[in-house]
Amino acid sequence: MSATPIDATCTQALIPMGHRFMDRIRTFAFAFAIALPIASLCAPPARAQVATAAWAPRTGDAWVDRMLGDINRYAARYPDAFADELVRYDNAPRALVHDLLGDPRWTPGDVYFACALGQYAGQPCRAVAQRWQQDHAGGWAAIAQGYGVSADSAAFHRLKRAIVSSYARWARPLQVDASLHAEFPQQPVATPEASKPADAPVERAPRAKARAKPTRRGKGGAA
């Protein structure tokens, strides 16, 4: 049966409409392909994991262990400033920091030490993180020693100095280890009680009542 003039006219009218529809589909797909990577770059850092009561980094240095515990608290309150610190001063890829903070196996203290250790061991943060994920039964001390960075080495001392520098940029108060006091005489020295090994379970503090935010602006302050 041959098509009627009306059928032919309808067919001719529908062809341009189909072309326009496909053009819109292609335009949408292209825009989505462009927007997706941009959105991933602009996404805020993942929420930092909260350390469990039994968490202990075991770096081989009691003062560093304590500071990493405090870094957990800082990163939970200021995740953007924490991520910026690792990206700018430890050459850590922002995407890697984002992924580690979103991984339940990692705490901010672990992420900080991995990237700082890599900086002073001449290794990328990603390589150190991968080694930790493969085996961290011996704590960070065993991993650091595997890179030739024992707790009494010059490289480890530089890592401790880097922690003090991070706290200065965060405007966060701290007490320095006795081995650092000569280099940072303006900082108070940590008491012997604060320098005890952090291998015992940490007591959970009771939930505090809501209070007004401090008027002082800035990233620092105790969390």
Q: How many residues are there in the chain?
A: 223
- Specify whether the CB–CB gap between 110 and 132 falls below 8 A: yes
pLDDT tens string 32-50? 444 444 444 444 455 555 5
| Average pLDDT of the residues in 156-172 | 98
Comparison of pLDDT for 197 and 105, the residue scoring more: 105
Residue 189 is classified by DSSP as: B
pLDDT at position 101 over 90: yes
Q: What is the pTM of this model?
A: 0.68
Q: What is the Cα–Cα distance from 23 to 45, expressed in whole angstroms?
A: 36
Q: Which of 74, 79, 88 is nearest to 220 (CA)?
A: 74
At 97, give phi and psi (nearest 5°): -60, -45
- DSSP character for 54? T
Cα dihedral 155, 156, 160, 163, rounded to 10, equals 80
pLDDT single digits (tens) 1-18: 555 554 555 445 545 555
